[in-house]
Amino acid sequence: MLTLTINGQSRDVDVPEDMPLLWVLRDHLNLVGTKYGCGIAQCGVCTVHVGGKPVRSCQLAVGDVGTRAVVTIEGVGDTPNGARVQQAWMEGSVPQCGYCQAGQIMSATALLDSTPYPDDSDIDAAMAGNLCRCGTYIRIRRAIKNAATKSV
Amino acid sequence: MKKIIGIVVAIIVVVAVGFAGWLFLGRNPMAFAGSSTVAPEDYKGGVITGVPAQLASADLVKRGEYLIHAADCQACHTAPGGAPFAGGFAFKMPFGTIYSTNITPDKQTGIGNYTDAQFLAALHKGIRADGEHLYPAMPYTSYTYMTDGDALAIKAYLFTLAPVHAPARQDELSWPYNQRGLLALWNVMFNPDERFHPNTSQSPQWNRGAYLAEAMGHCGECHTPRNLAYAMDNHSKFAGALTAGWRAYNITSDKNSGIGDWSDGDVYLYLSTGHASGHGGAAGPMGEAADDSLSYLLPDDVHALVTYLRSIPAQASDLPRTVTTPAPASYKAGPAANADIRGEKIFASACASCHDWTGVSPVTGYATLTGVRAVNDPSAANVAQTVIHGVNRTTAAGKIFMPAFGEGYSDDDIAAVANYVTARFGAKGAHLTDKDVASLRKQATQ
Amino acid sequence: MADIQSNSARSDAYLSALMREVRSIPAAEASLTVGRRAFFKLAGAGAAGLVLGFHLGDTAFAAEAVGGKDQPMNAFIRIAPDNTITIYSKCPEIGQGIKTSFGVIIAEELDADWNHVVMEQADINPKVYGSQGAGGSTSIPRAWDQLRQAGAGAKAMLIAAAAYQWKVDPSQITAKDSVLTHAASNRSATYGSLAVAAAKMPVPDLKSLKLKTRAEYRLIGKRYHGVDDPKVVRGQPLFGIDVQLPGMVYASYTKCPAAGGKVRSFNVDEIKAQRGVLDAFALDGTGVLAEVMPGVAIIAKDTWSAFQAKDKLKVDWDLSQASKDSTSQFSAEAKNLAANFPAKPDMNVGDVDKSFADAAKTVDAYYEYPFAAHAPLEPMNTTAHWHDGVMELWVPTQQPDRGLPLVAKVAGVPQSKIVMHQTRVGGGFGRRLVNDYTCEATAIAQKVNAPVKLQWTREDDFGHDFYRPAGYHQFKGAIDKDGRLDAWQEHFITFTADGKKEATGANLTDNLKYSIKAPNLRRAKTMFPLRIPTGAWRAPGDNAQVFAAQSFMHELSLASGRDHVEFLIDAVNRDVPALAPKDRSVNFSPKRVTDVIKMCAEKAGWGRKLSNGSGLGLAWCYSHAGHVAQAVELSVDADKRIKVERIVVVLDVGPIIDMAGSEAQAQGASTDALSTAMGLKVNIENGRIQEQNYNAYPILRLPFAPMTIDAYFIQSENPPTGMGEPAFPALAAALGNAIFAATGERVRRLPLRDLGYSLAV
Ligand code: FES
Ligand code: FES
Taking an 8 Å cut-off on Cβ atoms, the answer to whether C697 and B408 are in contact is: yes
| DSSP structure string for C564-579 | HHHHHHHHHT---GGG
Judging contacts by C-beta atoms under 8 Å, the chain A residues touching residue C304 are 19-20, 23, 27
pLDDT band for position C674 (cuts 50, 70, 90):
very high
- Interval between CA C422 and ligand 1 midpoint (Å): 25
* Candidate of C232, C377, C675 to mutate for ligand 2, largest count of ligand atoms within 8 Å of Cβ: C377
Judging contacts by C-beta atoms under 8 Å, the chain B residues touching residue A50 are 362
DSSP B422: H
Q: What is the mean pLDDT of residues C56-75?
A: 29
Q: Does position C73 have pLDDT exceeding 50, yes or no?
A: no
pLDDT at position C29: 28
Q: Does position C634 have pLDDT exceeding 90, yes or no?
A: yes
Q: What is the mean pLDDT of residues B224-242?
A: 93
pLDDT at position C631: 98
Task: For residue C628, give the H/E element and its range.
Answer: strand C626-636
Q: Does position C695 have pLDDT exceeding 90, yes or no?
A: yes
Taking an 8 Å cut-off on Cβ atoms, the answer to whether C225 and A91 are in contact is: yes
Q: Which of A92-101, B335-344, C208-217, C385-394 is predicted least confidently? A: B335-344
Give B37 or C5, the one with higher predicted confidence.
B37
Beta-carbon contacts of residue B3 (< 8 Å; ≥ 6 apart): none
pLDDT at position C42: 29
| Alpha-carbon span B152 to C167, nearest angstrom | 111
**Pocket flag, ligand 2, residue A132 (CB < 6 Å):** yes
pLDDT at position C285: 96
DSSP C485: E
Return the biggest CA–CA distance within chain B. Answer: 78
Query: ipTM for the complex?
Result: 0.93
- Expressed in angstroms, the distance from the first to the final Cα of chain C is 46
Q: Which A-chain residues 109-128 have CB contacts (< 8 A) with chain C?
A: 120, 123-124, 127-128
| Alpha-carbon span C143 to C153, nearest angstrom | 15
Taking an 8 Å cut-off on Cβ atoms, the answer to whether B409 and C698 are in contact is: yes
Atom of ligand 2 nearest to the CA of A95: 1
Beta-carbon contacts of residue B263 (< 8 Å; ≥ 6 apart): none
Q: Does position C17 have pLDDT exceeding 70, yes or no?
A: no
pLDDT at position B15: 65
In a mutational test of the A interface, the residue from B353, B387, B424 whose CB has the highest number of chain A CBs within 10 Å is B353
Q: Does position C23 have pLDDT exceeding 80, yes or no?
A: no
Give B385 or C45, the one with higher predicted confidence.
B385
Chain C partners (3+ C-beta pairs within 8 A): A, B
* Mean pLDDT taken over chain C: 89
**Pocket flag, ligand 2, residue C377 (CB < 6 Å):** yes
| Alpha-carbon span C620 to C591, nearest angstrom | 13
pLDDT at position C207: 75
* Candidate of A45, A46, A100, A104 to mutate for ligand 2, largest count of ligand atoms within 8 Å of Cβ: A100
Q: Which of A28-42, B82-96, B381-395, C402-416 is predicted least confidently? A: B82-96
Nearest chain C Cα distance for residue A67, angstroms? 23
pLDDT at position C45: 28
pLDDT at position C51: 55
**Shortest-distance ligand to the CA of residue A54:** 1
Q: What is the mean pLDDT of residues C440-464?
A: 97
Q: Does position C67 have pLDDT exceeding 70, yes or no?
A: no
pLDDT at position C14: 40
Taking an 8 Å cut-off on Cβ atoms, the answer to whether A102 and C235 are in contact is: yes
| Alpha-carbon span C467 to C479, nearest angstrom | 36
Taking an 8 Å cut-off on Cβ atoms, the answer to whether C377 and A99 are in contact is: yes
Q: What is the mean pLDDT of residues C204-214?
A: 85
Q: How many other CB atoms sit within 10 Å of the CB of residue C316?
A: 10
pLDDT at position B318: 85
pLDDT at position B69: 97
Judging contacts by C-beta atoms under 8 Å, the chain B residues touching residue C701 are 349
pLDDT at position A44: 98
Nearest chain B Cα distance for residue C151, angstroms? 47
pLDDT at position C404: 94
Q: Does position C28 have pLDDT exceeding 60, yes or no?
A: no
Q: What percent of chain C has pLDDT over 70?
A: 90
Nearest to B408 among C698, C703, C704 (CB): C698
Q: What is the mean pLDDT of residues C704-732?
A: 96
Contact B45, B201 (CB under 8 A): no
Q: What is the mean pLDDT of residues B378-399?
A: 93
Q: Does position C168 have pLDDT exceeding 50, yes or no?
A: yes
Q: Does position A123 have pLDDT exceeding 70, yes or no?
A: yes
- Determine contact: B353 vs chain C, CB below 8 A: no
Q: Which of A63-67, B248-252, C54-58, C64-68 is predicted least confidently? A: C64-68
Q: Which of B281-295, B325-339, C169-183, C398-412 is predicted least confidently? A: B325-339
The vertex-C266 CA angle with C265 and C269, nearest 5°, equals 125
pLDDT at position C585: 85
Q: Is the preceding peptide bond at C257 cis, omega within 30 degrees of 0?
A: no
Judging contacts by C-beta atoms under 8 Å, the chain B residues touching residue A41 are 353-354, 363, 403
Contact C636, C743 (CB under 8 A): yes
pLDDT at position B13: 65
Q: What is the mean pLDDT of residues B395-410?
A: 93
Size of interface B-C (CB pairs under 8 A): 37
The vertex-C726 CA angle with C725 and C729, nearest 5°, equals 90
pLDDT at position C618: 98
Q: Which of B112-126, C140-154, C262-276, C642-656 is predicted least confidently? A: C140-154
| Alpha-carbon span C151 to B204, nearest angstrom | 94
pLDDT band for position C18 (cuts 50, 70, 90):
very low
Return the biggest CA–CA distance within chain A. Answer: 44
Alpha-carbon torsion angle C746, C748, C750, C753, nearest 10: -30
Q: What is the mean pLDDT of residues B257-286?
A: 94
Could you tell me the pTM of the whole model? Answer: 0.92
Query: If you measure CA to CA, which chain A residue comes closest to B400?
Result: A59
| Alpha-carbon span C229 to A96, nearest angstrom | 9
- Over the stretch C334-363, which tens digit does the pLDDT of each residue have? 999 999 999 999 999 999 999 999 999 999
pLDDT at position B338: 60
pLDDT at position C750: 98
Contact B88, B169 (CB under 8 A): yes
B interface with A, Cβ–Cβ below 8 Å: 329-332, 344-345, 348-350, 352-354, 357, 362-364, 398, 401, 403
- Over the stretch B11-50, which tens digit does the pLDDT of each residue have? 666 667 666 776 677 788 999 999 899 999 999 999 999 9
pLDDT at position B336: 66
| Alpha-carbon span C405 to C481, nearest angstrom | 58
- Interval between CA B359 and ligand 2 midpoint (Å): 29
**Which residue type, as a one-letter code, is found at position B297?**
L
Atom of ligand 1 nearest to the CA of A43: 4
Chain B partners (3+ C-beta pairs within 8 A): A, C
- Over the stretch C135-160, which tens digit does the pLDDT of each residue have? 777 888 888 988 898 888 889 889 99
| Alpha-carbon span B419 to B432, nearest angstrom | 6
Nearest chain C Cα distance for residue A113, angstroms? 18
